[in-house]
Amino acid sequence: MGAIDIAVAVIFMLSVIGVGMIKSRGEKTHSEHGATDYFLAGRGLSWWLIGFSLIAANISAEQFVGMSGQGAGLEGLSVASWEWIAAITLVVVAFFLLPYFLRTGISTIPEFLEVRYNHWARLVMTLSMTLILIGVSLIGVIYAGAITMTRLFLEFGYDVSLPLACWILGGTAAIYVAFGGLKACAWADLLQGSALILGGGVITYFAFVALGATDIATLVDSTGAAATTGAAAALDAGVGAVDKFSMLNSAAMHMDTPAMPWPVLVLGIWIPNFYYWGLNQYISQRVLGSASLADGQKGLVLAAGLKLVIPFIIVIPGIIAFNLFSTEMEESANIDAGGNVFASYEQAAVNVDTNVIFMLDSKYAVAHPEKAQEINTYNSTVVDRLGEEAVVSEAINPYKYDSAMGLLITKLIPKDVGILGFVIAALMGAIISSLAAILNAASTLFTMDVYQRYIRPEAKQYEFVTFGRICIGVFVVIGCVIAPMLADFKSIFGFIQSFQGYVSTGILAVFIYGLINRTSGKWAGVIGILANAVIYGYLQAAYADVHFLYSMSYCLIAVLAILTVYGMIFKDERVEFTSITTLDMTPSTAARNWGIGICILTVVLYIIFW
């Protein structure tokens, strides 16, 4: 990594932080609206700031590393459903949820539950959401970002420790969000959101260039087979990169796969999407800061359009990474496993009393049929001897799929011309912007829904801002201390998504029920959130092998059924959502038309790639 790359990366990161601070330095934190200025950017965000800020807050190591890794792995293009379903979700949120939220003048999403149910529902949602934001999202993103940072810099000869990387990322995010609040985040996100899309496009370009220039004899297809033994073997030597990609990856370019089966697409995947894009504070806070309903709607639709592009600059490069670097992914997996991913199997194979059977990664089984046959023979022996008493261990994963994006960046991007520095800055910036969004949201929740509501409601505006800044400091310290302690896991993306289920489904259920049924008992909000946590926890423990999206679906149905029965027994006066906002609530016709077009285009993409 040359001096030019280092200079570009440093200048870009300093520029991002500087723009955020400069644009927010005029915030009047001591005025009568100081807390609103700090936590909601004075409710003055324009649609283009909202759109790019939503994308920058969303895209992080979770996507660049985790989603590209799933693309390289067994999921293939099917993991793009998280992005394409999100596009439709954003349009629905813009026209069905946002008007309610802005009309009631709320500062946080949990505040809406107090308007609909009671203050206990608001408190339970605040505490559970804060716990997930800090205990899962913040720690997960810091850890994933730090892992990415350490591995990238190690490739260039810089040995950055994992704890130091955590503190660099977390500390950088905390500095500018504590200084300028949401406005600092939004302006920084404008630069970082643009950079990550451009950076992803650069990575995609060089991935296709490398694929086109690489001899077919050194490639593997998406099933794990050598390219010379599959359909790609018929390709002429001078064939273009796009044709080569199509021949190598026809099996990976489908939406309906075992990893993402169609029943999940019918119900399960919509649950975390509607929670995340409509009810999750660290995303919704940007829309609550809209200058008008039209700005909020146009910003959401802009983000929806950008979501359609994300799989082409994150998932597709991940698929190509496996074609190019499957051997390097094997090496990385062995390093992570202490030198041998088959150590547990080999120990069990020499133990005549073992009751463990092993599941081998299907791509590796295709690439190494002799090893697959050896493990299958061993498994058959154990099953024949023990029958149903045989215990299935965790799968053997001989490929480190999450290394896909790092391999593309370190091996393909030209060095010492500034491009590499920009790409790395875009990736680090995406991680930092997500961390800033999480910290800002968590501090807003704790300040407005706990400190202001219960501890010091009579405090002056600047005290709320001060307390929010203290919360940011405390939360980032917690995240940076705990993140390095995380044990390695198979998929960053899956880890974060599955743990959201303890909160997301229950919150979505009480919002759905509360909007449809305005006369149910006041305790429905608390009952729904707590019941979901119990049911989801039971399903995760008792049926660990069931896809977590199935568990979310069962939870949503169960919680809605519980609330329906409760509502039949306990009724109150009908709740009306009174308008108290001073914002312009005129909806955007242009956003509606573009939103319809985006929904149609999403359906077309599913038809093409189904």
In degrees, rounded to 5, the angle at the alpha carbon of residue 318 between the alpha carbons of residues 313 and 322 is 150
Break the chain into its structural domains and give their ranges. 3-335+402-488+588-609, 342-396
Identify any residues that bridge with 472 across adjacent strands, giving them in sequence order: none
CB 182 within 8 A of CB 50: no
Nearest-angstrom CA–CA distance, 592 and 99: 13
Cβ distance 558 to 597 under 8 Å?
Answer: no
Q: What is the pLDDT of residue 238?
A: 63
Distance CA 141, CA 136 (A): 8
pLDDT value for 149? 82
- Spatial separation of the C-alpha atoms in residues 273 and 217, rounded to whole Å: 41
Inter-helix orientation angle 293-336/162-213, to 10°: 90
The residues facing 584 across adjacent strands are 292
What's the pLDDT at 65? 78
DSSP annotation of 93? I
Instruction: Tally the C-alpha atoms within 13 A of residue 361's C-alpha that lie toward its C-beta.
Output: 25
According to the model, what pLDDT value does residue 566 have?
93
What's the CATH number of domain 3-335+402-488+588-609, 3.40.50.300, 1.10.760.10, 3.20.20.140, 1.20.1730.10?
1.20.1730.10
Stretches where the chain sits below pLDDT 50 are none
DSSP H/E element including 391: strand 391-392
Residue 299 has a pLDDT of 96
CB neighbours (10 Å) of residue 582?
A: 8
CA 142/CA 482 separation, integer angstroms: 9
Query: 278-291 burial by CB neighbour count: b if 16+ within 10 A, else e?
Result: bbbbbbbbbbbbbb
Query: Token digits for 196?
Result: 């990550």
Give the C-alpha separation, 510 to 279, whole Å: 11
